[in-house]
Structure formats: structure tokens, C-alpha cells
Amino acid sequence: MIAMLKTTECCLCSQIAGEEFNDLIARMLNGEPYVRRVMLESRSFAAIPSLGPLVSGHTLLCPRMHVRSFAQLEPSLHDEYQVVKKKLWRALSSRYDSRVHLFEHGMSATGDRIMCTTDHAHMHFVPLPCSCVVDGIEQLAWTEFDGSLRELTQLSQGREYILYEHPDGVCRLLIAGERSFESQYMRKLLAQALGHRENWNWRDNPDPRSADETWRRFAL
């Protein structure tokens, strides 16, 4: 386990901005020349490699604006998100010859609870082998929706949620009620499907070298 330094600054904001002092991947690759590891970007969004990848190519799509969830994005950004989302999905599918699963642990609009140990919205793009079956998904009380940020915002109503989009395009939503969700819940399900039951927690199992390789596959 690599010790994680505590900071009052957002590490995702720092990585997107190219600020070396709080870029966690760069800090863990200590001694190497600094590079800004952004794989794909638009005016309002940036894709960065996951520091705790479940598989090679595991990528986070983040708003440049520091918001707690995609449900809280301004409506003016919804169309741009769909364009960038599709571009990243196609790129990962092609480069890794895999089926890309999407998920987000969306934080509630208010309160102190932080999902997945960071309060900057990030959508996971995980290219899994075609043979991989994610057990436990079908047993949950999902609400299917059209996948748009508009409907996500309407359905979640500022509450904590889990969003999951299957490679076939079916979008599902779990909305927190009286009980909140386990942190990194979807990471745990996907790790189990991959046979990596002990490696779901990105804080305990960071892999900066794999993150760097994912970035290089796009950038070089």
C-alpha cells in the first residue's frame, strides 16, 4: 500500500489543470519529468486515467468545473457531455477491443458525505472483456432511464445515486433513500467480476504506472 498524502485541494482539478504539486499520479511517479496526463478534452470536460484502474484503460471523465455529481451540471453543458462521452466510449472500445461499462457514484447536492473519497464528479469508463459478467447488477432495484443528464437530474432530485450504463446502452439508476450506498460499491462489483476481489479500493491499491500507460496509449 502506497501512503496517500492528505491535501485540502482537489486532486482531480489539479490533474486536469496540469498542476504538478497536487497531481497524485505524478507524485507517485516521483522523479520522472512532469506531464499533464489528460487523454481527451473539450471546453468543459476532460478525460484522465484512473489512479486505481480495475483494468487497463480505466478512465475518468470529469467536468472541468468542480461539482459534486453530473446531475448538478448546468443544462447548457448537457449536449457537450453527450458528444464527449460518445467520443471517449468509441476510443476506448477501439483501442482495447472491449465493451465499455460506465458508472458514477453521484453525491447528494448537500451534506458532508463524500462518495468514493473525492468530491469532484467523475464518470468511470471501464473497458471489460466481452466474457466478463457483472454479477449482482440484475438483483438491484434499478430504474431504467434514457441516459440523459436532464433525466438524471430530474430523477435524482439532489439525492445521492449510482448510475450504471451497460455496453448495450441500457442506463440504470439507483437513488438513495433512508440508507446511503457503500462507498466504491460499483468498483467492488466490477472487481469481483474480474476475479480481483481484494483490489476494488483505489486508495489501498493505486497503480500510477498503469495510469501512465493508459494515458500514453492515447497521447503518443
pLDDT of residue 202: 72
pLDDT digits (tens, 9 = 90+) for 60-91: 999 999 999 999 999 999 999 999 999 999 99
Write out pLDDT tens, residues 117-175. Answer: 678 999 999 999 877 877 777 778 899 999 999 999 999 999 999 999 999 999 999 99
Sequence-distant (≥ 6) Cβ neighbours of residue 161 within 8 angstroms = 69, 71, 104, 105, 106, 152, 155, 173, 174, 175, 176
pLDDT for residue 1: 37
Confidence class of residue 7 from pLDDT cuts 50, 70 and 90?
very low
As a whole number of Å, the CA-based R_g of the chain is 16
Cβ–Cβ under 8 Å, residues 126 and 56: no
Q: What is the reported pLDDT for 2?
A: 38
Give the whole-angstrom CA distance, residue 109 versus residue 175: 13
CA–CA separation, 96 and 16 (whole Å) = 23
pLDDT of residue 54: 93
- Give the burial class of 107: count Cβ atoms within 10 A of its Cβ; 0-12 exposed, 13-18 middle, 19 or more buried: buried
Per-residue pLDDT reduced to its tens digit, 20-57 = 999 999 999 988 999 999 999 999 999 999 999 999 99
Neighbours of 76 (CB within 10 A): 8
- Predicted pLDDT at 116: 58
CATH architecture of structural domain 39-219: 2-Layer Sandwich (3.30)
- Minimum mean pLDDT among 135-139, 180-184, 190-194: which range? 135-139
pTM of the model: 0.91
Angle at 15 between CA 11 and CA 20, to 5 degrees: 95
Nearest to 71 by CA among 4, 149, 17: 149
Q: How many angstroms separate the CA atoms of 205 and 9, rounded? A: 21
Higher pLDDT, 116 or 155: 155
pLDDT score recorded for residue 6:
42
How many Cβ atoms from other residues are within 10 Å of residue 23's Cβ? Answer: 23
Angle at 206 between CA 47 and CA 63, to 5 degrees: 20
pLDDT in the model for residue 194: 87
pLDDT at 3: 38
Q: Are 103 and 164 in contact (CB under 8 A)?
A: yes
Q: Is the pLDDT score of 9 beyond 90?
A: no
